């Protein structure tokens, strides 16, 4: 089925009032297939997001949607209590199917879901101002804080061991040993860098197993482009991309913000001389995060805030490298060696963080 008529077919499955006019593929994101669709509802344009879940990454889409529903409902309830205005712009709203389910399964066994489109917001691939870093960190900290009192059973682990840096490291070792695509020789320096840093992969895992760092409900994909900023005020309104919300470590969320907001570059910047952890950005990030999450973080978590930036940047770097060696099957690529470039950029950032780690943590300690 060609795209237009496929989307028309998808749109009919959901409780949407209006006729679909036009749908556009959204090019951001490495995993799911996302469309922005506009509808004509009695002469007024309303927009929705239709998304096909990548089922080779998310093997249990029903569990993903169960998590998403619990989290969005809970946050909405909190917002209603505070009588905040503009709720559909402050938390994602899932539009149910005509039979009341949170997703629709198509003829190929693919899962589709629909969200209300958040209007008058923008996202950025790279941070432009320190205020944006503050806003992003505050928003993700608030998100964690809103979920501290989520009632009910433990959330589903939609991707087991998602940020388990030891397992990610083992996967890299396996990819190097297999070398199925003969790419090891083109990644010698990156592999060397990764192997040299093995010692950092167990630090947080150990603290968690000792009970010194607790499991919390975390977002797990706190890239800067997952925060919606109000077009007028520049304030963060909403965080999106909730597929990996699950039990995790609060620090991993902070760490991925360091990865995606402190360097002026994109994650695949080929010019490494531009890749750098900028302290002013980090400071705003730490301020924003502690202003919303500071109330529940314990001492051990606080003491590892700077370290978490290094660890997550390193871990995502080895994931890119592993995918490169395995023939680019996980992250969508747009050019040859794309995943290798991405890993190299992460490693450059790790080096920059390493040089400034003490200064970063000193700043956090005096907040
Ligand atoms: C993936 O699809 P996207 O861009 O939101 C990945 C993250 C990585 C990120 C790197 C489910 O997120 O873990 O940090 O790429 N998501 C999944 O850009 O693996
Ligand atoms: Mg994502």
Q: What is the mean pLDDT of each run of 10 residues along the chain (367 residues)?
A: 85 95 87 94 96 95 98 96 89 97 96 97 94 98 97 96 98 98 98 98 98 98 96 96 97 98 96 98 98 98 98 98 97 96 98 98 97
pLDDT at residue 85, as a whole number: 86
Distance of CA 298 to the CA centre of its chain: 23
| Tokens 């991925």 -> residue | 256
Handedness of CA 74, 77, 82, 83 (dihedral sign): positive
Mutation pick for ligand 1 pocket among 28, 31, 248 (CB with most ligand atoms within 8 Å): 31
Distance of CA 326 to the CA centre of its chain: 22
The answer to whether residues 308 and 204 touch, using CB atoms and an 8 Å cutoff, is: yes
User: For residue 190, which of 69, 63, 345 has the smallest C-alpha distance?
Assistant: 345
Ligand 1 atom nearest residue 320's Cα:
10
Q: Whose CA is nearest to atom 4 of ligand 1?
A: 29
| Tokens 């964690």 -> residue | 144
pLDDT at residue 316, as a whole number: 98
Q: How far is the CA of 330 from the centre of ligand 1 (A)?
A: 10
246 phi, psi to nearest 5 deg: -170, 180
User: For residue 309, which of 234, 247, 364 has the smallest C-alpha distance?
Assistant: 364
Ligand 1 atom nearest residue 256's Cα:
14
What CA–CA distances, in Å, run from 87 to 36, 75, 90, 199?
A: 20, 10, 5, 45
pLDDT at residue 29, as a whole number: 78
Taking the model in full, what pTM does it have? 0.95
Ligand 1 atom nearest residue 220's Cα:
13
CA distance 228 to 92: 11
Mutation pick for ligand 1 pocket among 241, 331, 333 (CB with most ligand atoms within 8 Å): 331
What are residue 109's DSSP bridge partners?
Answer: none
The answer to whether residues 346 and 256 touch, using CB atoms and an 8 Å cutoff, is: no
Region(s) of the chain under CATH 3.30.200.20: 2-119
Secondary-structure class of domain 130-366 per CATH: alpha beta
pLDDT at residue 3, as a whole number: 79
Ligand 1 atom nearest residue 259's Cα:
14
| Residues contacting 174, CB < 8 A, separation 6+ | none
Region(s) of the chain under CATH 3.90.1200.10: 130-366
Q: Whose CA is nearest to atom 15 of ligand 1?
A: 30
What are residue 121's DSSP bridge partners?
Answer: 230
| Tokens 């923008």 -> residue | 122
Strands 19-26 and 33-41: antiparallel
Residue 221, both tokens? 């994909």
What CA–CA distances, in Å, run from 267 to 21, 27, 344?
A: 34, 15, 9
Number of C-beta neighbours around residue 70 at 10 A: 19
CA distance 18 to 166: 49
The answer to whether residues 250 and 144 touch, using CB atoms and an 8 Å cutoff, is: yes
| Residues contacting 201, CB < 8 A, separation 6+ | 165, 166, 168, 169, 311, 314, 315
| Tokens 């390493």 -> residue | 354
CA distance 95 to 114: 5
Give me the numbers of helices (H) and strands (E) for the chain, helices first please: 11, 11
pLDDT at residue 1, as a whole number: 61
CA distance 260 to 12: 37
Q: Where are the beta strands (DSSP E) in 166-265?
A: 216-218, 227-230, 236-239, 246-248
pLDDT at residue 268, as a whole number: 97
Ligand 1: which residues within 6 Å by Cβ?
Answer: 29-31, 57, 221, 223, 241, 244, 267, 316
Query: Running DSSP on this structure, what letter comes out for residue 83?
Result: T
CB-count burial class (<10 Å; 0-12, 13-18, 19+) for 77: exposed
Q: Where are the beta strands (DSSP E) in 53-179?
A: 94-95, 104-105, 111-116, 121-122
pLDDT at residue 296, as a whole number: 97
pLDDT at residue 2, as a whole number: 79
| Residues contacting 24, CB < 8 A, separation 6+ | 35, 36, 37
Query: For the domain with range 2-119, which CATH number is right: 3.40.605.10, 2.60.40.1930, 3.40.710.10, 3.30.200.20?
Result: 3.30.200.20
């Amino acid at each position: 089925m060609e795209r237009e008529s496929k989307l028309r077919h998808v749109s009919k499955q959901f409780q949407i009032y209006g006729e679909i006019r036009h749908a556009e593929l959204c090019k951001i994101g490495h995993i799911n297939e996302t469309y922005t669709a506009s509808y004509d509802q009695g002469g007024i344009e309303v927009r929705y997001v239709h998304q096909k879940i990548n089922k080779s990454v998310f093997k249990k889409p029903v569990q993903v949607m169960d998590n998403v529903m619990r989290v969005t409902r809970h946050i909405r309830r909190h917002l209603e209590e505070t009588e905040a205005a503009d709720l559909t712009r402050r938390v994602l709203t899932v539009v149910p199917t005509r039979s009341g389910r949170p997703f629709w399964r198509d003829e190929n066994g693919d899962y589709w879901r629909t969200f209300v489109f958040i209007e008058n917001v923008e996202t950025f691939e790279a941070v432009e101002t320190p205020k944006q870093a503050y806003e992003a960190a505050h928003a993700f900290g608030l998100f964690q804080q809103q979920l501290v009192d989520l009632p009910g059973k433990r959330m589903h682990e939609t991707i087991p061991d998602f940020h388990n840096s030891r397992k990610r490291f083992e996967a890299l070792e396996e990819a190097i040993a297999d070398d199925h695509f003969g790419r090891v020789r083109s990644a010698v320096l990156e592999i060397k860098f990764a192997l040299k840093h093995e010692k950092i992969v167990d630090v947080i895992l150990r603290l968690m197993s000792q009970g010194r760092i607790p499991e919390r409900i975390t977002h797990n994909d706190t890239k800067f482009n997952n925060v919606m900023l109000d077009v007028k005020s520049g304030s963060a309104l909403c965080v999106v991309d909730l597929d990996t919300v699950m039990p995790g470590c609060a620090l991993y969320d902070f760490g991925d913000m360091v990865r995606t907001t402190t360097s002026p570059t994109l994650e695949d910047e080929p010019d490494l001389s531009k890749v750098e952890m900028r302290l002013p950005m980090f400071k705003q990030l730490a301020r924003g995060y502690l202003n919303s999450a500071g109330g529940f973080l314990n001492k051990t978590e606080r003491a590892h805030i700077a370290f978490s930036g290094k660890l997550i940047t390193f871990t995502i770097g080895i994931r890119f490298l592993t995918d490169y060696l395995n023939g680019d099957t996980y992250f969508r690529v747009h050019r040859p060696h794309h995943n290798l470039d991405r890993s190299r950029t992460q490693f450059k950032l790790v080096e920059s963080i390493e040089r400034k780690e003490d200064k970063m943590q000193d700043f956090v300690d005096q907040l």
